[in-house]
Structures are given as C-alpha cells and as structure tokens.
Amino acid sequence: MKVLVTGGAGYIGSTICSALADAGHIPIVWDSLVTGERSFTKAHAFFEGDIADAEVLEKILREHPDCDRVIHCAARIIVPESVQQPELYYAENVVKSLQLFEHLRRAEVNRVVFSSSASVYAESESFTVDENHPRAPQSPYANTKAMMEDILKDFARAHNFQSIILRYFNPIGAEPKHRSGPFVSNPSHLLGRLVAAAHKGVDFAITGTNWPTRDGSGLRDYIHVADLAQAHVAAVEKFDEVIRTESQPTSTLNLGTGSGVTVREFVSSFERVLGRKLDVKEAPARDGDNAGCCTIIDKAKTLLGWTPQSSLDEGIRSALEWDEIWSERTKQQR
C-alpha cells in the first residue's frame, strides 16, 4: 500500500517510512525540510514542499493516484519556541494542517493518522492516564495538538473523513538499521542531554527533584521510536478495521510502553548502558515542567494488535550508537 507521510524527513516520520518500507509498503515523503533532514528521504519517493501547498498534493496524487492514506507528522515541535512565538505554532501546526485536511478531503484521500502528543493531557495524581483522561494542554505547542484533534473530530462528523489520533508519549532511540535518528544539535529532552553529556562533556542536571513521585524526579513513559513506527504500520494496515471496531470515524490511541520511569532511574540505566558514571547535578524544575505520567496501552494493543518490543536499555543503546554514527556522518559532510 502507498502511504503519504508528511514530515517524513523528520525524526519520527523517517523511522515510520523505514518501517513501512520494511513491511512491504511504499512510503511517499512530503516535507518542506524546514527542520527536516534531506538525507533521510533518499530511499523514498520525496516531494519537497509545504503541507499547505495544494499544488504539491496534486503532483503527488498525479504520480501516485493509488495513495489513499496519510500519516500526518509534519509540525513544529519545540515547546519553549511555541511559548515565545505562539503565532508561528498556530499558523504552522493548526492553520496549515487545516488546509492540508481540506485539500485531502477534496481529493477524496480520507484516511489520516495524526501525530498527537501526551502533552495534551492534564496532570494525573496516579501518574497514569488512559485515552479518557481529561485534556489540559499547558503550552501553545500542546494546544495546537489538542486543536488538531478537535478539528479532525469535527471533520469526521461533517464529512467522509476518518482519522486515527495517536498520542505519543516520549520517543527515544534511533531507527534500528541506523537509517535515521535524532539529529538536532542542541537537544532539550532527557536522553539527548545525557548523550551530549556522555559524548561531548556538556553539563547535565536533573531538573526538578521535588515532584511527588517515588524519588522526587519527573516520571515519563519512554517508547522506542521503532516501536512507535510499528504502531503506525499497524494503524495504516488496520485503519478500516479500527474505525469499524470503534463505531465512530475518529479513534484516539495512546502510544507508550505502559511503564513509568523517573529521571533518576533513567540516569542509572543510562550510566549502566554507557558503562561509566556521569557528573550529575541537580537543578530546580524548568518553567512549564510537570511531574509527568505514563500511559495504559490496552487500547492500542487491542485495536492495533501491537505491543512495544524494546526495553529502555535498548532505546538508550540505540541513541548512543546513532549519535556516534551521526557525528561521524556530519563531520564527513563538512
């Protein structure tokens, strides 16, 4: 099957494209490269352009008229940037996605898998959420995800337009055959900061040590990006079945591992995989941080017939290996 992947030159989109190809499907990448990496698109049909540009979609569908489903990953994703420039995030993530959906609907491409985020959820006293947990997005970025979810639901009510909304928890690691991986030079997420500490000597601090978790540090659900990608393969393959089982045109699924890991536990695992201790400092929580949560994944397991396969250590090892490969590759390109 042919699957159009917006944002297919990005970290998650490129991993999804590799997984689709390995499963015998044909991914078609649509990406403006505004933040994406051109080299990740080499193995696939690639259309460079903005998701709001109807002419690009026309060209794609002229060349691939049998493409009838879309995985919509393209977005701006940096939370602090969204706080500083909300107008950019609402324009890029909401307005352009709305235009994309309208163009898709008119072209009768009416199956969309959407990249949403755990950041739409309100805090949970039990540190565990399922898909029915209330939403309370805390940043313009998270707000754009919640707004897109609502737009998709309204589209589905009004038109023949179905969607599977996938709320990702915290993706880690790289594509297993090292075809792509994390590529931002200044990572702000936990594993990226630890890799930078291990390989480049960048200072590392646990930010926030007074949360009401088992050891005071924040708790998250870290899912290997390869497992995340497999869930997308299942979502496009079982799209009609999922929608039928749900008896409604929009389905929302959480994608995580089902286990919460605190930052202190994560740092211990990282040091074990690395084989040495790091100089770990402690600092106050950053603006907008919260205690965090993990997810119940029963719904995704049942509807997608999917179970995450990789351990936390495998995710960490994968990120460390990829960082060496990527550093070497970018050094050679300079």
Ligand X SMILES: NC(=O)c1ccc[n+]([C@@H]2O[C@H](COP(=O)([O-])OP(=O)(O)OC[C@H]3O[C@@H](n4cnc5c(N)ncnc54)[C@H](O)[C@@H]3O)[C@@H](O)[C@H]2O)c1
Instruction: Indicate whether 34 belongs to the interface with ligand X (CB under 6 A).
Output: yes
- Cβ–Cβ contacts within 10 Å for residue 321, how many? 14
Residue in 4, 47, 70, 92 binding ligand X, rule: CB under 6 A: 92
CB under 6 A: which stretch of 73-81, 104-112, 229-237, 308-316 binds ligand X?
A: 73-81
Residue 69: phi, psi to the nearest 5? -150, 155
Annotation says 141 is catalytic = yes
Residue 73: phi, psi to the nearest 5? -100, -20
Residue 160 or 330: the one with the smaller Cβ distance to ligand X is 330
Q: Min. distance of Cβ 16 from ligand X in angstroms?
A: 9
Distance in angstroms (rounded) separating the CA atoms of residues 186 and 195: 11
Residue in 18, 82, 110, 115 binding ligand X, rule: CB under 6 A: 115
Distance in angstroms (rounded) separating the CA atoms of residues 51 and 75: 10
Q: Which residue, 195, 213, 199, is CA-closest to 291? A: 213
Q: Min. distance of Cβ 50 from ligand X in angstroms?
A: 4
Residue in 4, 19, 36, 113 binding ligand X, rule: CB under 6 A: 36
Q: Which residue is nearest to ligand X (CB)?
A: 10
Please provide the DSSP assignment of 61-101 as one string. HHH-TT--EEEE------HHHHHH-HHHHIIIIIIHHHHHH
Q: Min. distance of Cβ 72 from ligand X in angstroms?
A: 7
Instruction: Indicate whether 16 belongs to the interface with ligand X (CB under 6 A).
Output: no
Cβ–Cβ under 8 Å, residues 112 and 104: yes
Instruction: Indicate whether 10 belongs to the interface with ligand X (CB under 6 A).
Output: yes
Cβ–Cβ under 8 Å, residues 27 and 21: yes
Residue 6 or 310: the one with the smaller Cβ distance to ligand X is 6
Instruction: Indicate whether 268 belongs to the interface with ligand X (CB under 6 A).
Output: no
Q: Which amino acid appears at position 62 of this protein?
A: R
Which positions are catalytic? 141
Q: Point out which residues bind ligand X (CB under 6 A).
A: 6-7, 9-13, 31-36, 50-51, 73-77, 92, 96, 115, 117, 168, 170-171
